[in-house]
Chains A and B, each alone.
Chain A
Amino acid sequence: KNQVEQSPQSLIILEGKNCTLQCNYTVSPFSNLRWYKQDTGRGPVSLTIMTFSENTKSNGRYTATLDADTKQSSLHITASQLSDSASYICVVSANSGGYNKLIFGAGTRLAVHP
Chain B
Amino acid sequence: GAVVSQHPSRVICKSGTSVKIECRSLDFQATTMFWYRQFPKKSLMLMATSNEGSKATYEQGVEKDKFLINHASLTLSTLTVTSAHPEDSSFYICSARDASGGGYYGYTFGSGTRLTVV
Which secondary structure dominates chain B's binding surface? Answer: strand
> How many contacting A-B pairs (Cβ < 8 A)?
46
Q: Is B67 an interface residue (CB 8 A)?
A: no
CB of A51 within 8 A of CB of B104, answer yes
List 8 additional A-B contacts (Cβ < 8 Å) besides A43-B6, A91-B107.
A41-B114, A43-B112, A44-B44, A51-B102, A89-B44, A93-B104, A102-B46, A105-B43
CB of B43 within 8 A of CB of A42, answer no
Count of chain B residues with Cβ under 8 Å from any Cβ of A?
A: 23
Which residue of A has the minimal Cβ distance to B42?
Answer: A106
Which secondary structure dominates chain A's binding surface? Answer: strand
CB of A31 within 8 A of CB of B104, answer yes
Q: Which residues of B pack against A, CB within 8 Å?
A: 4, 6, 32, 41-44, 46, 91, 93, 95, 102-112, 114
Contact residues in B for A105 (Cβ distance below 8 Å): 43
